[in-house]
Structure formats: C-alpha cells, structure tokens
Amino acid sequence: MGISFKLAEIKDVAVKNIEKHIDERGWLAELYRSDELAESIFPQMSYISLTKENMQRGPHEHVHQTDYFCFLGPSDFKIILWDNRKGSPTYLNKMALFLGENKPAALVVPPGVVHAYKNIGGKKGLVINSANKLFAGKMKKEPIDEIRYESDPGTIFIFD
C-alpha cells in the first residue's frame, strides 16, 4: 500500500492576498513587507521566471529554504502542495490553490513541503520568488537545497 495524501490545509503554508493599486498609469502592488513577515522568512535573494502556457514546474522541495512566491499575472496558475514533513501535524495533507492574474497572492512554502505549479491561464505567466536562502549558497559554492521529483517515474507527488 502506497502513501496517500488528503486534501486539507498545511501548517505553515500561508497565502497573502496582494492588492493591486490601479490608476491611469497602470498598477502597483506590494509584494512583501518586513512588518508582515516572520524574520526567518526575510528574502536573501529574488528571481523572476516566465512559464509558458500549459507548462509545469516541479514538483520539488527544499530541506532548509522557505519560498515566497508571488503570483500576479499576466496568467493564472494551479499550485499543488504536499506536506512531506513527518513531524508536522499536517503530514500527508495536500493543498490545491489557484493564484495569479485573477487572484493575485503571495505564497509562503516552508521547507519540507513539496510544491509544483502549472500555468493554466492560456498565456505566458510571470512568477516572482523571494527565497530566504541563497541558491547554491554564498557565491554559488554550496550544495543546492533541492530535492527534485519531476523526472522520477515512481514519484508519489502527482500533479492532478
């Protein structure tokens, strides 16, 4: 018998709605504020990625890193999260979220929570991540903090 996940909330995963302030020039949105985040989540680096229509990134997880994703558009994304932390009260819970242009939000993904997202909005989409750890450590000279599952044919982390 394999491991199965139940659809439910996951401890320490947080979704923060992002308000777009719109005027004649366009819009502005605050992505994060230090007075709204725990210090352990403060970003150490930030990157932006473009995901083409119907493309998926992940699933993967981090051992130490917390991701702080911002899904703003111009497309929409389906995000799946699996709690893979054996000591967590929500171990084996799974969440599905729909964020992006129609529901702009920031998403906190703690270490040990497997995550994947797919662009479902029918156009290219941008995602910003402001992680609390440096990719590959200082000067990119440390091991990468990532466990990847997308190429594992036997993975239990199936995006559906």
Query: Which residues partner with 15 through β-bridges?
Result: 107
Digitized pLDDT (tens) for each residue of the chain, 160 residues in all? 578 899 999 999 999 999 999 999 999 999 999 999 999 999 999 999 999 999 999 999 999 999 999 999 999 999 999 999 999 999 999 999 999 999 999 999 999 999 999 999 999 999 999 999 999 999 999 999 999 999 999 999 999 8
141, part of any domain:
no
CATH number, domain of 82, equals: 2.60.120.10
Between CA 141 and CA 13 the distance in angstroms is: 29
Give the SS3 label for residue 18: coil
Question: Can you give the pLDDT at residue 21?
Answer: 94
Give 65's DSSP letter.
P
41, part of any domain:
yes
Range of the domain at 121: 6-134
Question: Can you give the pLDDT at residue 82?
Answer: 98
98, part of any domain:
yes
In 3D space, the residue among 158, 115, 127, 101 whose CA is nearest the CA of residue 10 turns out to be 115
Tally of domains in the chain:
1
148, part of any domain:
no
Question: Can you give the pLDDT at residue 1?
Answer: 53
149, part of any domain:
no
Residues near 77 by beta carbon (within 8 Å), at least 6 away in sequence = 51, 71, 98, 99, 100, 117, 118, 119, 120, 121, 125, 127
Assign residue 63 a region (left: φ > 0; alpha: ψ between -120 and 50; beta: otherwise).
alpha
